Amino acid sequence: MEQMTEKSKMTARNVSVFYGDKRAIDNVSIDVDMENVTAFIGPSGCGKSTFLRTLNRMNDTVASARVEGEITLDGEDIYASSMDVVQLRARVGMVFQKPNPFPKSIYENVAYGPRIHGLASNKADMDVIVEQSLRKAGLWDEVKDRLSDSGTALSGGQQQRLCIARAIAVDPEVILMDEPCSALDPIATAKIEELIHELRGRYAIVIVTHNMQQAARVSQRTAFFHLGNLVEYGETSEIFTNPRQERTKDYITGRYG
């Protein structure tokens, strides 16, 4: 927890999250930067998703959820009343566990965000945004001839890349991914992992995974959560080869695959 640097894109300080009376996240501090992909790992129910969702205030939609502590984006407190949630979410994009394209055309899926935020003043601009986003998500070549097909008609892996394209289209600064591959087959998973590599550096990326191999493959930093606590946070290579905490070690060496 001592790697907090000045170049952090997002910082969390002493964050606790409650669902009603139940504490799901306990006093977690963490930094996310642009250079490194950060992975959150930990056993099921440890609070990875909960914490991830506090980063773009998606937890606001859960009536019982309550966040304590401070989270900043570029130094601005995102829970301050002056913070506009709508803009925050445009700047901190999110990709979910199960691919969730809208039941609209592929084009409309990608154009949705730019349209509601007014990022394109005309059709031509929009076309550019859609193409760029699909390209960045590595999906352009596969779908360029059928942009008007429904987004739900794509394969699972394509859908997930479409969701990434959709998130990219609003030009976010941070991308949060909550187990983006857990619903995908190995080939699609490999494609997404590749994509994360490509996107690194352009966006601050946080990825939740319960698959340690995956964390090892895609991330530079890893945070290990357990029972709502951040047990250990550091260089991925170090965490996996030389964990400092007993709990981390137990989990990594995993008697339980």
Ligand X SMILES: Nc1ncnc2c1ncn2[C@@H]1O[C@H](COP(=O)(O)OP(=O)(O)OP(=O)(O)O)[C@@H](O)[C@H]1O
Among left, alpha and beta (phi > 0; psi -120 to 50; other), residue 71 is: beta
Nearest to 182 by CA among 98, 256, 102, 101: 98
From residue 151 to residue 190, the character string flagging contacts with its own copies as x (rule: CB under 8 A) and all else as - is ----------------------------------xx--x-
Give, as one character, the DSSP assignment of residue 59. G
Q: Does residue 197 belong to the site contacting another protein (CB under 8 A)?
A: yes
Q: Does residue 158 belong to the site contacting Mg ion (CB under 5 A)?
A: no
Question: What is the dihedral angle through the alpha carbons of 11, 12, 14, 19, rounded to the nearest 10 degrees?
Answer: 170
Q: Does residue 41 belong to the site contacting its own copies (CB under 8 A)?
A: no
Which contiguous run of DSSP H or E holds residue 230? Answer: strand 229-235
Nearest to 51 by CA among 207, 244, 213, 180: 207
Q: Does residue 47 belong to the site contacting ligand X (CB under 6 A)?
A: yes
How many residues touch its own copies (CB under 8 A)? 12
Distance between CA atoms of residues 162 and 98, nearest Å: 12
Instruction: For the CB of residue 165, give the shortest distance to its own copies in the complex, in Å.
Output: 24
Q: Among residue numbers 72 through 91, which ones bind another protein (CB under 8 A)?
A: 84-91
How many residues touch another protein (CB under 8 A)? 50
Instruction: For the CB of residue 33, give the shortest distance to ligand X in the complex, in Å.
Output: 22
Q: Does residue 189 belong to the site contacting Mg ion (CB under 5 A)?
A: no
> Two tokens at 56?
């773009």
Q: Does residue 49 belong to the site contacting Mg ion (CB under 5 A)?
A: yes
Q: Which of 27, 29, 100, 182 binds another protein (CB under 8 A)?
A: 100
Q: Which of 11, 36, 50, 219 binds ligand X (CB under 6 A)?
A: 50
- Cα distances from 41 to residues 73, 192, 208, 251, in angstroms, run 22, 18, 6, 10
Decide if 107 contacts 128 (C-beta within 8 A).
Answer: no
Q: Which of 2, 6, 7, 44 binds ligand X (CB under 6 A)?
A: 44
From residue 195 to residue 234, the character string flagging contacts with ligand X as x (rule: CB under 6 A) and all else as - is ---------------x------------------------
Q: Which spans of this chain sit near ligand X (rule: CB under 6 A)?
A: 19, 24, 42, 44-50, 62, 64, 210
